[in-house]
Amino acid sequence: MINNVVLVGRTANEPVIHVLENGVKVCSVDLAIVRPFRNANNENETDFIPINFWQAVAENVDEYCGKGSIIGVQCRLSSRMVEKQGVKYKAIDINADRVIFIKLVARNKEIVPIPQYKSHTVSFPVKSAYFN
């Protein structure tokens, strides 16, 4: 089966890294992606997609990316059941396996040079036969 999503956009917020109780690092960022078509008012709309980065990828995003950085992300979708106020529903998470830094903006709004190709592939939690 194929579970692969590729997104390119700007980080809409400052990355914040968290360490879970089991020691796993996770960083969540909303990725702003402009739709390629115009609405009825002849305006482009923007989607804000929440992305979860894990372990080494989370550390790199937290270290190098500020709000407004342009990044490419290779992701996979995962689903889980959530219960709120007695109602169960399915939540879809977008988990990044790989990130490419295209144009970085530091947290102080300066454009920073791209580090020497610092892209990581993380198998979390399932290895894929398609990506080494």
CA distance 50 to 28: 7
pLDDT tens readout for residues 36-52: 888 889 999 999 999 99
Quick one: tokens of 6?
Answer: 């590729």
- 126 pLDDT above the threshold of 90: no
Query: Which of 33, 27, 26 has the alpha carbon at shortest distance from 11?
Result: 33
Quick one: tokens of 89?
Answer: 């529903």
pLDDT tens readout for residues 50-78: 999 999 999 999 988 999 999 999 999 99
Quick one: tokens of 52?
Answer: 């979860």
What is the dihedral sign for C-alpha 103, 107, 112, 117? negative
Query: Which of 114, 99, 96 has the alpha carbon at shortest distance from 26?
Result: 96
Q: pLDDT value at position 132?
A: 42
CA distance 101 to 93: 22
Q: pLDDT value at position 113?
A: 55
Identity of the amino acid at 10: R
CB distance 65 to 57 below 8 Å = no
The pTM score is 0.75
- Count, residues in the chain: 132
